[in-house]
Amino acid sequence: MAFRGGREKRPAGRSSGAGSLRTPGEERYKWIALSNTTLGMLMATIDASIVLISLPAIFRGIHLNPLTPGNSGYLLWLLMGYMVVSAVLVVTFGRIGDMVGRVRMYNLGFAIFTAGSLGASLVYFHGAAAADTLIVMRLVQGVGGAMLMANSAAILTDAFPAHERGMALGINSVAAIAGSFIGLVAGGLLAAVDWHLIFDVTVPIGLFGTVWAYRKLRETGTVEGARIDWVGNLLFAVGLVALLLGITYALQPYGTSPMGWRNPAVLAALFGGVVLLGIFIFYELSADQPMLDVRLFRNRAFAAGNIAGLLASIGRGGLMFMLVIWLQAIWLPLHGYRFSETPLWAGIYMLPLTLGFLIAGPVSGWLSDHFGARPFATGGMLAASATFLLFTFLPPDFNYLWFALLLLANGLAMGLFASPNAAGIMNAVPANRRGQASGVRATFQNSGMTLSIGLFFSIMVAGMVRSLPISLLDGLVAEGVPLRQAHAVAHLPPVSVLFAAFLGYNPMKTLLGQVLGALPVSAARTLASQGFFARLIAKPFLGGLGIIFDFASVMCLIAAWASWLRGAWVRPEPVRQEPGLSGVPGSRKAAEFPDL
Per residue, the 3-state secondary structure of 236-295, as one string, reads HHHHHHHHHHHHHHCCCCECCECCCCCCHHHHHHHHHHHHHHHHHHHHHHHCCCCCCCHH
Q: What is the pTM of this model?
A: 0.75
Pinpoint the alpha helices (H) of 192-222. 197-200, 202-216
- Predicted confidence at residue 190, as pLDDT, reads 85
- Predicted confidence at residue 254, as pLDDT, reads 77
Q: Which helix (H) or strand (E) holds 513?
A: none
Distance CA 169, CA 243 (A): 30
- Predicted confidence at residue 333, as pLDDT, reads 86
Contact of 254 with 260, CB cutoff 8 Å: yes
CB atoms within 10 A of CB 400: 13
Burial of 215 (0-12, 13-18, 19+ CB in 10 A): exposed
- Predicted confidence at residue 252, as pLDDT, reads 73
What's the pLDDT tens digit per position in 23-70?
Answer: 666 778 888 999 999 898 888 888 877 887 788 788 888 988 766 666
Contact of 324 with 452, CB cutoff 8 Å: no
Burial of 540 (0-12, 13-18, 19+ CB in 10 A): buried
Specify the 3-state DSSP secondary structure of 407: helix
- Map out the domains of the chain as residue ranges: 229-290, 467-537
* C-alpha neighbours within 13 Å on the C-beta side of residue 35: 12
Contact of 204 with 359, CB cutoff 8 Å: no
Render the burial of 313-340: b for 16+ CB within 10 Å, e for the rest: bbbbbbbbbbbbbbbbbbbbbbeebebe
Render the burial of 482-521: b for 16+ CB within 10 Å, e for the rest: eeebbeebbebbbbbbbbbbbbbbbbbeebbeebbeebee
- Give how far the C-alpha of residue 19 lies from the chain's centroid of Cα atoms, to the nearest Å: 38
Q: Which helix (H) or strand (E) holds 332?
A: helix 332-334
Distances (CA, A) of 528 to 347, 512, 513: 24, 10, 11
Q: What is the DSSP letter of 574?
A: P
Distance CA 522, CA 164 (A): 66
Distance CA 390, CA 60 (A): 37
- Predicted confidence at residue 55, as pLDDT, reads 80
Distance CA 500, CA 508 (A): 10
Distances (CA, A) of 122 to 119, 144, 378, 384, 461: 5, 18, 46, 41, 37
Distance CA 523, CA 527 (A): 6
Specify the 3-state DSSP secondary structure of 327: helix
- Predicted confidence at residue 568, as pLDDT, reads 61
What's the pLDDT tens digit per position in 186-224?
Answer: 887 888 788 899 999 889 989 999 999 898 888 776 666
- Predicted confidence at residue 6, as pLDDT, reads 44
Residues of the chain with pLDDT under 70: 1-25, 66-70, 72, 166, 170, 221-227, 318, 432, 434-435, 501-506, 567-596
